[in-house]
Amino acid sequence: MATAALASQERLPWRGHVAATLKLGLPLIGAQIAQIAIATTDTVMIGWLGARELAASVLGVQGFFVALMLGSGFALAVMPLVAQAQGAGDVRSARRATRMGLWIVALYAVVMMLPLWNFEALLVALGQDPHLSAQAADYLRIMQWSLFPALFTFTLRSFLSAIERPRMVLVATVLAAVLNGFANYALIFGNWGAPALGLRGAAIASVLSSTLSFTLLWAYAMWTPAIRRFEIHVRLWRADWPVFGEVLHLGWPISLTIIAEVALFAAASILIGWVGPVALAAHGIALQLASLAFMVPLGLSSAATIRVGRALGAGEYVDLRRAAVSVLILAVAFMALSATAFLAVPEPLTWLFLDAAKPDAAQVAAYAVGLLAVAATFQLVDGVQVVATGLLRGLKDTRVPMTIAVFSYWVAGMPLAYVLAFPAGLGGVGVWFGLAAGLAFAAVLLTARFFWKAARYH
């Protein structure tokens, strides 16, 4: 193995690792941006309805994405398993992992239907405005049906990305985003002869776009000759319990790691909801912009998982470490640019989401500008922590990162957010400073763990 690693070092220098990361990562980044564009389109168009509708959608979307991200860990567990199987030339193991990943996410989606249907009661119990809670629940009871196609799509994305077929992932996600935009415009406002359904229209558009994305990826996997050899669709009904257990074992810590961060931002929405509808609407705008920037390191995180997993499966340990450093450098460079944009041009970015004719628009815009200034401070650490998490997944290390995430976000970040927001009187800005602190803890601890683990391979 040492000889193979040395040969790999000679044929793939540092610039080669950067190029390989970009070749794999750029389509994944594009797919992530297209995915968040769906949510961004929803936010923009719902924002045109008014501040209260936007605030209600923020609550509903946060509830849905907590459920989606909790299930996505099982889909993401497929990625390192397939990547390591590819590195070892094991088609059978790649097929088994993908099939059982689809099984697990389907079962998970069934379980989540009941709590999502009753989300209004939870919001009211958490102190949210009853009228906003009712609107959010009405939106979510349609939106929740996109959980099935969305999780199937995530699983197929993991499979296709791990076998280095990320371009179709990008194509499918872009087409879904386009459909979502047109459907939103028609169904929210009643254009082109469609009924004006408001928030319900946005939810229907999301279900349609998720279904299209899954359908395209499934057809691609079935009909492309180079991918048909994996036979993921053959005997899909047959259980493979050892691999089912492996995906479950690897996936649940990933799910809890993701949910620790997603729930952090959902809890931040709850805290800011206590401040008032203007602050909550501004939070939705700032969060959407920060999430859009986050899609780049999130795409790079998937590339990191694949490149580290394949290098580990092939026993190429020099490539493993060089791939890690190259993806970290790329993530830091981009997040520095996004932080600069948040500081330099916050007003134009904020007004993309608002109608100046609405009475609360100026207040929401001013509040959002302040939140973006804080968001700029945690762009670098946010990028580093998600890439470090992806690197550790490539090593199939998920349990300790889960513990680090829970500690960083909920022991360090959330208590500080509450203290700064209310006892210290900083409101929404205080909440966002708490978020930054939690992300910084995670970035330091996760990066240190990866390089400690990687040093053991030589």
Answer with the residue of higher pLDDT: 25 or 408. Answer: 408
Nearest to 367 by CA among 270, 267, 271, 281: 281
Confidence of residue 388 (pLDDT cuts 50, 70, 90): very high
pLDDT of residue 6: 37
Mean pLDDT confidence for 360-376: 86
Q: Which residue has the tokens 């053991």?
A: 456
Q: Are 401 and 449 in contact (CB under 8 A)?
A: yes
> Of the spans 175-179, 280-284, 306-310, which averages the highest pLDDT?
175-179
pLDDT beyond 80 at 71: yes
- State the Cα–Cα distance between residues 421 and 430, nearest whole angstrom: 4
| Mean model confidence pLDDT for the chain | 86
Element (H, E) at 427: none
pLDDT of residue 451: 92
- State the Cα–Cα distance between residues 149 and 212, nearest whole angstrom: 8
Quote the Cα angle for 399-33-179, to 5°: 120
Q: Are 304 and 79 in contact (CB under 8 A)?
A: no
Q: Are 68 and 105 in contact (CB under 8 A)?
A: no
Length of the chain as a residue count: 458
Confidence of residue 8 (pLDDT cuts 50, 70, 90): very low
What is the b/e burial string over 86-117, where b = at least 16 CB atoms within 10 angstroms of the residue's CB? bbeeeeebbbbbbbbbbbbbeebbeebeeebe
**pTM to 2 decimals?**
0.80
Annotate 116-174 with DSSP letters as a single string: HHTHHHHHHHTT--HHHHHHHHHHHHHHGGGHHHHHHHHHHHHHHHHTT-HHHHHHHHH
Mind listing the pLDDT tens digit for each residue in 9-44?
345 677 777 777 888 778 888 887 787 778 778 878
Task: State phi, psi for 352 to the nearest 5 degrees.
Answer: -60, -25
Choose the weakest-confidence range: 125-129, 168-172, 242-246. Answer: 125-129
Mind listing the pLDDT tens digit for each residue in 236-291?
888 889 999 999 999 999 998 888 877 788 788 888 888 888 888 888 888 888 88
pLDDT beyond 90 at 452: yes
- State the Cα–Cα distance between residues 193 and 241, nearest whole angstrom: 50
pLDDT of residue 48: 80
Annotate 223-292 with DSSP letters as a single string: H-HHHHTT-TTTTTTS--HHHHHHHHHHHHHHHHHHHHHHHHHHHHHHHHHHH-HHHHHHHHHHHHHHHH
- State the Cα–Cα distance between residues 250 and 252, nearest whole angstrom: 6
- State the Cα–Cα distance between residues 433 and 439, nearest whole angstrom: 10
Q: Are 95 and 230 in contact (CB under 8 A)?
A: yes
Nearest to 1 by CA among 318, 396, 308, 451: 318
Copy the structure tokens of residue 315: 């026993």
Mind listing the pLDDT tens digit for each residue in 197-250?
888 899 999 999 999 999 999 999 988 888 888 888 877 888 889 999 999 999
pLDDT of residue 12: 65
- State the Cα–Cα distance between residues 170 and 334, nearest whole angstrom: 20
Residue 353 identity: F
Residue 89 DSSP one-character state: T
| pLDDT over 70, % of the chain | 97
Three state DSSP letters for 352-386: CCCCCCCCCHHHHHHHHHHHHHHHHHCHHHHHHHH
Mind listing the pLDDT tens digit for each residue in 83-106?
888 888 888 888 899 999 999 999
- State the Cα–Cα distance between residues 182 and 190, nearest whole angstrom: 11
pLDDT of residue 149: 95
Distance of CA 137 to the CA centre of its chain: 22
Confidence of residue 392 (pLDDT cuts 50, 70, 90): very high
